[in-house]
Amino acid sequence: MYLREENYSTAIKEARNDLDKIKISGYYGGMDKTHIYFEYYKNTKRKESIVISHGFCENLLKYTELITYFYNKGYSVYALEHRGMARSTHLGKDESQVHVDSFDHYVYDLKRFVDDIVKKEAQGEKLHLYAHSLGGLIGTRYIQMYPEDFEKVILCSPFFGINMDLPDKFIKICSRVLIQVGQSKNYTLIHKKYDKFPEFDEMHTNSRARYEFNKEIHAQSSQYRMLGGSYKWIYECIMASEQVFKKENLEKIEADVLLITCGQDTMVDTSVHKKFANLIFNCRTFEIPESKHEPFFETDDIIAKFYRMVFDFLDK
């Protein structure tokens, strides 16, 4: 069922070609006159649809394998590229920087996508959400603000906190001060302008084959060469994370949630995942001890575990 690493380069190109034959894509208007790229894949085998909310500095080409598996399982698949990333309007000081004026803009963009495109095409089908990392934070705020839209939600390595020695509160205070003195669009101390694709051991996968595929994507266009965020971006993310854990917002979540945590994650603070799961009544948790931050982009054995859990959750 799953692509194998030994012939991954050939297999992923074939999968991409197959998807391109059925892909419908375009742009819609996001908040503040931005142009948000989207694509979808209609499936007549089943009356359910899934929406993808991707992670920090990502693009939908990287999700070729994930989209293929969802489609082969009978789901219609809908996805967008968040503002400031890939083919959507870039908002940073240069093309490789992620910047946002308000975190809620991410949520409103997604809401407009769901209302104006997904629901019109799905025509009453059950809707589910797959949300990874930054996309998981966006997705969580979405289901708190619009709890009626999704029946099941998969939060994969959600970005509820930064994996750093410094506490989020300290980073928030420093970022706020720097924003106030006009450095809103400067790179954070841990980020920089894109100069080259990161080395294998710096990336969030143990799969050399999938790493090489991602590297090839970055070589295609400067739109995909993104590496870091601004002080305003990190400040808005921390503020959004604080909103996630407010009691009145946690109580608004109606969807069934699967929260996936990776034991080798160096990107996000995984210690708060269990806290979140314990604070809502309808959350299942699954940990993959040997996985880095991206279990959907990992070695073959990890991917098999990951998708077994995902489809078991969706099928019940």
> 299-311, pLDDT tens digit by residue?
999 999 999 999 9
Q: Is residue 28 within 8 Å of 81, Cβ to Cβ?
A: no
- Secondary structure class of 311 (helix, strand, coil): helix
Give the span between the Cα atoms of 12 and 63, in whole angstroms.
10
Share of the chain above pLDDT 90, in %: 91
Q: Is residue 268 within 8 Å of 205, Cβ to Cβ?
A: no
Interval 228-269: pLDDT, tens: 999 999 999 999 999 999 999 999 999 999 999 999 999 999
45, pLDDT greater than 90 = no
CA proximity to 12, closest of 215, 295, 197, 206: 215
CB burial of 224-257 (b: ≥16 within 10 Å; e: otherwise) equals: bbbbbbbbbbbbbbbbbbebbeeeebeeebbbbb
168, pLDDT greater than 90 = no
Strands across the sheet containing 152-156? 24-29, 35-41, 76-80, 48-53, 126-132, 152-156, 256-262, 283-288
CA 122 to chain centre: 21
pLDDT of residue 165: 75
> Which of 34-48, 129-143, 166-180 has the least mean pLDDT?
166-180
pLDDT of residue 284: 98
Interval 269-300: pLDDT, tens: 999 999 999 999 999 999 999 999 999 999 99
Q: Which two tokens stand for residue 72?
A: 């082969």
pLDDT of residue 155: 99
Q: Which two tokens stand for residue 12?
A: 């992923």
- Secondary structure class of 186 (helix, strand, coil): coil
pLDDT of residue 221: 96
Domains of the chain (ranges, CATH numbers): 5-315 (3.40.50.1820)
How many helices (H) and strands (E) are present in the chain, helices listed first?
11, 10
Average pLDDT estimate for 43-62: 95
Share of the chain above pLDDT 70, in %: 100
Q: Is the dihedral of CA 110, 97, 292, 266 positive or negative?
A: negative
Give the span between the Cα atoms of 147 and 293, in whole angstroms.
27
In the chain, alpha helices (H): 8-22, 64-72, 103-113, 119-122, 134-145, 168-180, 208-220, 231-244, 247-250, 271-279, 300-315
**Which has more pLDDT, 194 or 69?**
69
pLDDT of residue 258: 99
Give the span between the Cα atoms of 231 and 184, in whole angstroms.
5
CA proximity to 59, closest of 96, 30, 93: 96
Q: Which two tokens stand for residue 157?
A: 């390595």
Q: Which two tokens stand for residue 277?
A: 């799961």
